């Protein structure tokens, strides 16, 4: 042992005797039972350092079979040791890498149980990914390990196949094709052994989504005859029938295969639905038939209706109080996920409260992500309003539609929005958000559907609905999702990749913040956290030369709702928050929105500005007349005070009252600028004459006039009011409206007339 290695081991507090004991693992006769936690810790420590890992590399070079045998004994810790040694010493040594691959393949062939098979598959995957190796000729052995009893083994082999296809597609496809053709052509009498048949159908099922070679094999006359013969001979063998049906379901991913299934297997499916006493076979046949529905309609085949298929699924729920968390439930849920694209089925299922309760009730108990995902897809379909996802990337939904909606058949069935609203309120009352939040299994697909459910429920603008969702933690869920799927740079957010569901999470947050007290929902995050996300919904930044493409798809509704949310947030008495909103929104968006042709957008922008006008930086945007653009902006504001949009008038009058009441210097600014004060008095006179009966507007104008007249008292500015007879007449008229107007108008009139 070299001095540097000895020194390194000393630093790691590993003695020579500990090393000697640990290295005994790499003996072909060593037993797994002899491996202690101390041995594992020693090997992991050694491998984790470039210098001490040399000990292990020397062993690998001397006898890679013994080394890989020892790695296999160490299981998951062995994978870590192997990864480290590969990283430090084998990265650029292809010869050694391929030797190890060959030895590992031999261990796989000799493996006696699933545990060791899985371990050596992990080693194999580690070798090909770390060293970027590919040998498609190994596929004949690897595909032979696929079986109907161990999904973990199948998944790992699938990853290896995908890796090979990415690196050498043509040769990998050739090897897959050769393997399958040998199985299919093995027996001219079609009497393939059950074990080989199960391997054949499982390989086809697993590989259907990743290579078109499978479609070609599946639709051959020989393959069809093998399937039909095996079902005829083994009609009482549940495993044979179930695995065959799983293959048929998997094949429905391809149009040609779906057409082939309708032509050759539909009668078998119909027979199983009507006559099978085995629930797995019956409901797998229902699932396959649903997936073929579009093609059944095209071929005008006589088969049970969508309603009949749905009723069979309802029957399953009605005969059980507790859903079995097994393979059967997977088929039931997947079938319902497809069927709930159909409008009539949606309507029926929404009214089946007991089924909805069962689905919600089973969610917290599930460990199978596939079933969880299916249940959430059902809830998404049932809670969705027509056209509320026109711009969304709903690939899953579109994919399902191909199955459940009859081709060429225009559905005249119209869904009732009130019915959907009622269903969504019911979901919310059953704490669906809390239930999904507490799930044992969560992945990106599940979280995407979770966001869709929140988004759909929030189409109801009821404050009560929103408060209930906030109580269940909706704000934290939405912000967690947004952060996870975002790039954050210089205080700006953008998607890591285009993601409509991420956009819907921002839309959902915006809708929540329109009407609830913002302080209530922000416990985990500072409220400022949400501002950059909300700003995305305002669309492209007018000051940027380049905006991300997705921003041009932002709708007027998005902008409108976001402005309302920001207006509600800006009502919080927090100076720093208000400054932050102004700096992020005014020059980039609001300056353009206040003259927008969309009246709602324009009005909401002014309402937001009115809430922010008590900040000096916002006051400067309207009353610093040294800048031409500010003078122009102020004149626009005054003209809009005479708008035909009453709510816009209220917003602008609020802005003017607040700024002149709280800041005397603003009054001086206005009075010093004849162009401004003359235009303002002219507009006020017009509004009083034309809208005298609008008390809400009149009281604001009364206070505005009083603010300006008060600051002009004993000043030369007062002449501006004293010489305007129309204004004096209008103020006098306001005195007679009611007591609130009376006092403020008398005060104004007194100040004008006393000095005249």
pLDDT at 405: 52
Does 299 have pLDDT greater than 80?
no
Tell me the range of 112-121, 125-134, 380-389, 670-679 where mean pLDDT is highest.
670-679
The closest of 422, 420, 424 to 343, measured between CA atoms, is 420
Q: How far apart are CA 262 and CA 515, in angstroms?
A: 53
pLDDT at 539: 94
The closest of 565, 653, 649 to 602, measured between CA atoms, is 649
534 within 8 A of 555, measured Cβ to Cβ: no
Query: 174-205: per-residue pLDDT in tens?
Result: 999 999 999 998 766 667 889 999 999 999 99
pLDDT at 89: 77
* Letter string b/e over residues 658-680, b meaning 16 or more CB atoms within 10 A of that residue's CB: bbbbebeebbbbbbebeebbebb
613-756 CATH, one of 1.25.10.10, 1.20.200.10, 3.40.50.1370, 3.40.50.300: 1.25.10.10
User: Which pLDDT band, with edges at 50, 70 and 90, does 300 fall under?
Assistant: low
pLDDT at 302: 65
Each domain of the chain, given as residue ranges in start order, spans: 613-756
Alpha-helix runs per DSSP H in 185-234: 194-207, 213-218, 221-233
346 within 8 A of 340, measured Cβ to Cβ: yes
H/E segment holding residue 84: helix 76-85
Query: 87-108: per-residue pLDDT in tens?
Result: 877 777 778 888 888 988 998 9
pLDDT at 340: 94
Phi-psi map region of 288: left, alpha, beta (phi>0 left; psi -120 to 50 alpha): alpha
Structure tokens at 596: 């927008």
pLDDT at 403: 45
Residue 330's CB is within 10 A of a number of other CB atoms, namely 18
pLDDT at 375: 96
Does 449 have pLDDT greater than 70?
yes
Give the pTM: 0.86
Does 392 have pLDDT greater than 50?
no
Largest CA-CA distance found in the chain, in angstroms, rounded: 118
Helix axes 306-318, 327-339, angle to 10 degrees: 140
Q: How far apart are CA 59 and CA 314, in angstroms?
A: 62
The closest of 398, 369, 408, 401 to 291, measured between CA atoms, is 401
Q: How far apart are CA 17 and CA 482, in angstroms?
A: 53
Q: How far apart are CA 512 and CA 440, in angstroms?
A: 27
Mean pLDDT of the chain: 89
Quote the DSSP letter at residue 588.
Answer: I
The closest of 210, 282, 309 to 250, measured between CA atoms, is 210
Structure tokens at 190: 């079609």
What is the mean predicted confidence (pLDDT) over 236-265? Answer: 94
Phi and psi torsions of 489, nearest 5° = -145, 130
What is the mean predicted confidence (pLDDT) over 348-353? Answer: 95
SS3 53: helix
What is the mean predicted confidence (pLDDT) over 432-437? Answer: 95
User: Minimum mean pLDDT among 50-54, 128-132, 407-411, 572-576: which range?
Assistant: 407-411
Residue 302's CB is within 10 A of a number of other CB atoms, namely 7
What is the mean predicted confidence (pLDDT) over 240-268? Answer: 94
Q: How far apart are CA 654 and CA 703, in angstroms?
A: 10
SS3 493: strand
User: Which pLDDT band, with edges at 50, 70 and 90, does 137 fall under?
Assistant: very high
What is the mean predicted confidence (pLDDT) over 397-416? Answer: 54
Better-predicted residue by pLDDT, 66 or 747: 747
- For the chain, first and last CA: distance in Å? 109
474 within 8 A of 433, measured Cβ to Cβ: yes
Query: 42-96: per-residue pLDDT in tens?
Result: 888 888 888 878 888 888 888 888 888 888 888 888 888 888 888 877 777 778 8
pLDDT at 167: 94
Q: How far apart are CA 215 and CA 182, in angstroms?
A: 16
User: Which pLDDT band, with edges at 50, 70 and 90, does 410 fall under?
Assistant: very low
User: Which pLDDT band, with edges at 50, 70 and 90, does 293 fall under?
Assistant: confident
pLDDT at 14: 76
245 within 8 A of 281, measured Cβ to Cβ: yes
Query: 599-632: per-residue pLDDT in tens?
Result: 999 999 999 999 999 999 999 999 999 999 999 9
469 within 8 A of 415, measured Cβ to Cβ: no
What is the mean predicted confidence (pLDDT) over 477-486? Answer: 95
Query: 535-580: per-residue pLDDT in tens?
Result: 999 999 888 877 788 888 899 999 999 999 999 999 999 999 999 9
Query: 510-547: per-residue pLDDT in tens?
Result: 999 998 998 888 889 999 999 999 999 999 988 887 77
pLDDT > 70: what percent of the chain?
A: 93
Does 756 have pLDDT greater than 70?
no
What is the mean predicted confidence (pLDDT) over 463-479? Answer: 94
pLDDT at 43: 84
What is the mean predicted confidence (pLDDT) over 328-333? Answer: 92
202 within 8 A of 149, measured Cβ to Cβ: no
Following CA atoms 40, 46, 49, 53 in sequence, which dihedral angle do they give, to the nearest 10 degrees? -120
User: Minimum mean pLDDT among 290-294, 413-417, 743-747: which range?
Assistant: 413-417
Quote the DSSP letter at residue 25.
Answer: G
Does 393 have pLDDT greater than 60?
no
Burial of 536 (0-12, 13-18, 19+ CB in 10 A): buried
């Amino acid at each position: 042992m070299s001095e540097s290695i000895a020194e390194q081991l000393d630093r790691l507090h590993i003695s020579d005797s500990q090393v000697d004991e640990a290295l005994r693992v790499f003996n072909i006769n060593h037993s797994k039972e002899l491996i202690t936690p101390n041995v594992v810790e020693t090997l992991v420590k050694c491998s984790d350092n470039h210098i001490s890992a040399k000990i292990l590399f020397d062993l690998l070079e001397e006898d890679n079979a013994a080394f890989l045998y020892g790695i296999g004994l160490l299981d998951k810790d062995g994978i870590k040791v192997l990864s480290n040694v590969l990283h430090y010493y084998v990265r650029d040594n292809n010869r050694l890498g391929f030797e190890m691959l060959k030895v590992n393949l031999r261990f796989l062939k000799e493996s006696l149980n699933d545990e060791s098979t899985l371990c050596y598959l992990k080693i194999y995957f580690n070798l090909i990914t770390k060293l970027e190796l590919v040998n498609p000729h190994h596929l004949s052995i690897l595909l032979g390990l696929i079986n109907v009893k161990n999904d973990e083994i199948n998944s790992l082999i699938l990853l290896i196949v995908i890796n090979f296809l990415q690196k050498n597609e043509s040769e990998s496809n050739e090897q897959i094709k050769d393997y399958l053709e040998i199985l299919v052509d093995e027996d001219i009498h079609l009497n393939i052994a059950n074990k080989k048949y199960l391997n054949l159908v499982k390989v086809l099922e697993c590989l259907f989504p990743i290579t078109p070679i499978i479609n070609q094999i599946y639709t051959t006359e020989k393959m069809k005859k093998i399937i039909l013969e095996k079902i005829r001979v083994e009609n009482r063998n549940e495993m044979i029938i179930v695995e065959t049906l799983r293959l048929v379901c998997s094949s429905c991913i391809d149009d040609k295969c779906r057409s082939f299934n309708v032509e050759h297997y539909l009668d078998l499916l119909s027979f199983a639905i009507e006559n099978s006493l085995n629930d797995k076979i019956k409901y797998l046949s229902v699932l396959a038939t649903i997936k073929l529905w579009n093609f059944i309609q095209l071929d005008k085949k006589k088969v049970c209706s969508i309603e009949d298929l749905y009723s069979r699924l309802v029957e399953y729920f009605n005969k059980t109080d507790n859903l079995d968390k097994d393979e059967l439930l997977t088929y039931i849920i997947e079938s319902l996920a497809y069927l709930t694209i159909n409008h009539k089925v949606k309507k029926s299922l929404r009214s089946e409260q007991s089924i909805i309760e069962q689905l919600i009730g089973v969610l917290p108990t599930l460990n199978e992500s596939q079933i969880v995902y299916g249940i959430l897809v059902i809830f998404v379909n049932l809670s969705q309003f027509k056209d509320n996802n026109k711009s969304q990337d709903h690939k899953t939904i579109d994919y399902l539609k191909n199955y459940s909606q009859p081709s060429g058949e225009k559905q005249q069935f119209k869904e009732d929005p009130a019915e959907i609203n009622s269903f969504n309120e019911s979901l919310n009352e059953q704490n669906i958000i809390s239930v999904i939040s507490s799930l044992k299994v969560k992945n990106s697909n599940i979280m995407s559907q979770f966001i869709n459910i929140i988004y759909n429920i929030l189409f109801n603008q009821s404050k009560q609905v929103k408060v209930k969702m906030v109580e269940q933690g909706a704000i934290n869920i939405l912000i967690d999702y947004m952060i996870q799927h975002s790039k954050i740079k210089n205080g700006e957010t953008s998607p890591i990749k285009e993601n409509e569901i991420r956009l819907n999470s921002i839309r959902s947050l915006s809708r929540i913040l329109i009407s609830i007290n913002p302080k209530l929902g922000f416990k985990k995050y500072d409220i400022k956290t949400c501002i950059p996300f909300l700003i995305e919904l305002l669309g492209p930044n007018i000051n940027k030369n380049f905006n991300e493409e997705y921003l041009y798809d932002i709708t007027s509704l998005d902008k409108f709702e976001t402005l309302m949310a920001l207006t509600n947030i800006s009502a919080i008495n927090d100076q720093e928050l208000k400054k932050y909103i102004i700096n992020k929104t005014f020059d980039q968006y609001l300056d353009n929105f206040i003259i927008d042709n969309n009246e709602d957008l324009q009005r909401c922008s002014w309402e937001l500005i009115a809430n922010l006008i008590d900040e000096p930086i916002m006051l400067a945007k309207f009353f610093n007349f040294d800048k031409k653009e500010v003078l122009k902006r102020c004149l626009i504001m005054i003209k809009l005070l005479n708008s035909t949009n009453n709510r816009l008038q209220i917003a602008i009058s609020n802005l003017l009252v607040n700024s002149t009441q709280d800041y005397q210097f603003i009054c001086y600014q206005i009075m010093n600028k004849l162009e401004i004060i003359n235009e303002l008095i002219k507009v006020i006179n017009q509004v009083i004459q034309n809208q005298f009966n609008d008390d809400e507007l009149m009281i604001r104008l009364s206070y505005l006039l009083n603010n300006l007249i008060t600051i002009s008292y004993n000043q030369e500015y007062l002449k501006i009011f004293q010489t305007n007879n129309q204004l004096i007449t209008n103020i006098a008229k306001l005195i007679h409206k009611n007591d609130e107007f009376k006092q403020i108008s008398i005060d104004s009139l007194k100040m004008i007339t006393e000095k005249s």
